[in-house]
Amino acid sequence: MARQAKAWIAGVYEHPTRKAVDKTTPQLHAEVALGALRDAGLTKKDVDGYFCDGVAPGLGGLSMAEYMGLNLRYTDATETGGSSYIVHVGHAMQAIAAGKCDVALVTLAGRPRAEGVKALGARDHGADMPERGFEFPYGPAVTNLYAMAARRHMHEFGTTSEQLAWIKVAASHHAQHNEHAMLRDVVTVEDVVNSPMIADPLHRLDCCIISDGGGALVVVKPEIAKALGDRCVKVLGQGEAVKHTNGGRVDLTWTAARRSGPIAFEEAGLTPADMKYASIYDSFTITVLETLEDLGFCEKGDGGKFVSDGNLISGVGKLPFNTDGGGLCNNHPNNRGSMTKVIEAVRQLRGEAHPKVQVPDCDLALAHGTGGQISQRSGSATVILGRSDA
């Protein structure tokens, strides 16, 4: 018996550019919006709900609605960093169920590569940010903050650099089939551990790419999905959670996925064992490893064993992941990766992933996003998606 869903994803689009030297950020938002609407078989006249993050240009939803000519009755600019777009899927589902909108558009766009961003420091949200006086004097950088989590995980559980490297290896095996991926060369464990050290124990190939571009989703009510056909994908469950330093009482070996995941699985009436495919935010290899544990795909501390020997490679392992190459190889638009995680999960459920990485009979999939830094304050969001007949 097919499961019921309060909302469906009808359209997705990933911008093909990885360096947008000739486009503005609003232009990128508009182009991904039109791409997703075309994919859904809808137009901007059908959109009555719009969702974006806190770094969208101008006044966010207000400015972008004007720029794109949207006639809205609902808007949401929730900001949880890179997990924002999976949060938006859940909020769109709730808005649709409450009758606040019928067709919700979610967009992401940015130009960090064209603007010359070469490294990421901890983001400064202003002089009144409560942690500023305690942390910024030490010059935190994103890579260092994730390296702290990786080193602690190694200390607690014996995780090795070679085990982390398998995550990059899996991503590279998938990226070789993606014509738009920034890094298409297949790498080995040795390649990863022999690449330059960036922040001990993370090597260059443990780190995600920086890219321009963006993506968009169109979420619709069930009646519209029925009219659009069987390419629509069900939103079966969604969860979100926040982790912070808790006044210094913080464990670096887990993420808020251990709370967002169970919420999503319970709402969907499913378990990790039911998933045929997983899109996992991969800002760094350690992000993936901790998230897999926290979502229940393996026990805490067993992530290194779980990812070893190609278990994340489509056609080889038990849990194919990030079959587009992910943020480690393909695309990490505006340094925010959960949008592309949803897009690739939808491709898998539609049977539209590259034939070399398409998961056979993929009827249930998970997409997960992480925002902020897992060693400080971060937001996690998980969504469970199903094929139309699931």
β strands within 229-373, DSSP E: 233-243, 277-280, 364-372
pTM of the predicted protein model: 0.95
- 17 token code pair: 């550019």
Tell me the C-alpha to C-alpha distance, in Å, between residue 331 and each of 15, 59, 343.
10, 26, 12
CB 236 within 8 A of CB 372: no
CA distances from 337 to 77, 102, 341 (A): 17, 26, 7
Whether 76 and 58 have beta carbons less than 8 Å apart is answered as no
139-211+237-386 adopts what CATH topology? Answer: Peroxisomal Thiolase; Chain A, domain 1 (3.40.47)
Q: Is 7-114+213-235 CATH 3.40.47.10?
A: yes
Range list for CATH 3.40.47.10 in the chain: 7-114+213-235, 139-211+237-386
Q: How many Å apart are CA 182 and CA 18, to the nearest integer?
A: 7
CA distance 386 to 390: 6
Residues of the chain with pLDDT under 50: none
- Position 123 scores a pLDDT of 56
Whether a cis peptide bond, with omega within 30° of 0, leads into 201 is yes
What the block records as the tokens of 51 is 């969702």
